[in-house]
Amino acid sequence: MTAKQPGSGNLDIHTDEMRRQAITVSVNWFLWVNILFSLFILGRSYFSTDPLTVVLHRPTHVLEIAMVLVLAASSGVLFILRMAPDPEALWLSQLAKGTVLLLSLAWALAFYVFIASDDMRVIFPLAALLLFTALISLYFDARVLLTFIVPVLLSILLSSVVYDQIPGPLNAVLWILLAALLESGRRMLNSWFLLALRRSEEKRDLIMQLETLASYDPLTGIANRRTFQQQLDNAIQEATLNGGELAMIMVDVDHFKRFNDHYGHQAGDVCLREVANQLSSAVRRQGDCVARLGGEEFAILLPGGGRDAALRVARRLAWRLENQAIAHAASPVRPHVTVSQGVSVWKPEMSGAVLIAQADAALYQAKEKGRNCWQEFDAQPRPD
């Protein structure tokens, strides 16, 4: 098991993902506002002493239909969002975007009826409130925001031209100011949104780097002692519960101090990295753990593997180092880098400390036998 260094992260992908999640949250408030506004319009139509008079063959019930559509769509989508088992599902964000478009078309129809009915008093305040509501809810996604704003404004503009309700200079300035405020507000809110995302991405990268530093050896990139101990505890728990096997190999580079003295510490670091690579290549299963415990001492944990699996890995490691032939002129064992290995096999009710102690004892026996070999605990060493 080798370390996976965290990347800087793709901010664009993260931003798109956050926008997708944000719309399913913020659209809730937007839908409630649409419900309140549609109820207001329906109540105004029924209870006002000055009811709307629709001209040019545009009957009043068109407005009612539009408001009932807003009310039904908003209520239905709110119910779906509340009952959805996965609030971050992709289809929910697509539903929210589609609902925004539907509401926009319904309000565009309503403003058309207002203008056709010569009911101009409600146009600007209602449009301003709706558009600022959309801005607050949808500022983080310009396309979705425009999906709501553009049909409403186009309906007001075209209807005003058709029914000769073109606003005077003062009203025109108000509409221009409204558009300018919407765009400047969107830019400001979106800049804050992107800044928050960048800070979040930086914190996430920092956390990943800290986790890597806490879990992996910075020199070799493999697991460190802390991670190895966690893996060992988990493997023992798993083996105890399921009656599985577990084996460990303690590995020590032979005469590494002489290597450092002869070649220098920089070459020693290169040697340790290469040994770590060979250890990682010697294991075959995904759950196996290779760790550097400190200095030139390494360990291999084989969850689900017994004595035979451990001996195969030990033989494979010795063979790979033999073929790699990292020069070690100061070694009295071989002219290249070799390792001594101690093998221990877990038994039921054995603690991790005992398993490590047995592997250490077997490693000591391997060194006593002349190094460059592997030794089972309480067994005769087997020369390479």
Report pLDDT digits (tens) over 142-179.
889 999 999 999 998 888 888 777 666 766 777 788 88
Question: What are the tokens at 340?
Answer: 């001594």
Percent of the chain past pLDDT 70, that is, above it, reads: 89
- Split at pLDDT 50, 70, 90, the class of 1 is very low
- Please report which helix (H) or strand (E) contains residue 204, including its range: helix 169-215
CATH code at 350? Answer: 3.30.70.270
- Please report which helix (H) or strand (E) contains residue 274, including its range: helix 265-282
Q: CB of 76 within 8 A of CB of 112?
A: no
For 333, which DSSP code?
S
pLDDT value of residue 270: 96
Give start and end residues of each alpha helix (H) in 216-264.
Answer: 225-242, 256-263
Chain mean pLDDT for the chain: 85
In three-state secondary structure terms, 329 is: coil
Catalytic pick among 211, 296, 368, 376: 296
Identify whether residues 287 and 197 lie together within a single domain: no
Q: Is 274 assigned a catalytic role?
A: no
Q: Report how far residue 209's alpha carbon sits from residue 4's, in angstroms, rounded to the nearest whole number.
A: 10
Q: Is the predicted pLDDT of residue 210 greater than 70, yes or no?
A: yes
Q: Is the predicted pLDDT of residue 332 greater than 60, yes or no?
A: yes
Q: Per the domain annotation, does 235 fall within a domain?
A: yes
Neighbour tally for 41: CB within 10 Å: 23
Q: Per the domain annotation, does 43 fall within a domain?
A: yes
Q: Per the domain annotation, does 220 fall within a domain?
A: no
Number of domains the chain is built from = 2
In three-state secondary structure terms, 104 is: helix
pLDDT value of residue 227: 93
In DSSP terms, which residues pair with 276 in a beta bridge? none
User: 219 or 13: whose pLDDT is higher?
Assistant: 219
Q: Report how far residue 226's alpha carbon sits from residue 219's, in angstroms, rounded to the nearest whole number.
A: 15
User: 20 or 350: whose pLDDT is higher?
Assistant: 350
Bridging pattern class, strands 297-303 and 289-294: antiparallel
341 to 38, 185, 204: CA distances (angstroms): 78, 67, 39
Range of the domain at 28: 7-206
Q: CB of 110 within 8 A of CB of 63?
A: yes
Identify whether residues 232 and 135 lie together within a single domain: no
pLDDT value of residue 57: 35
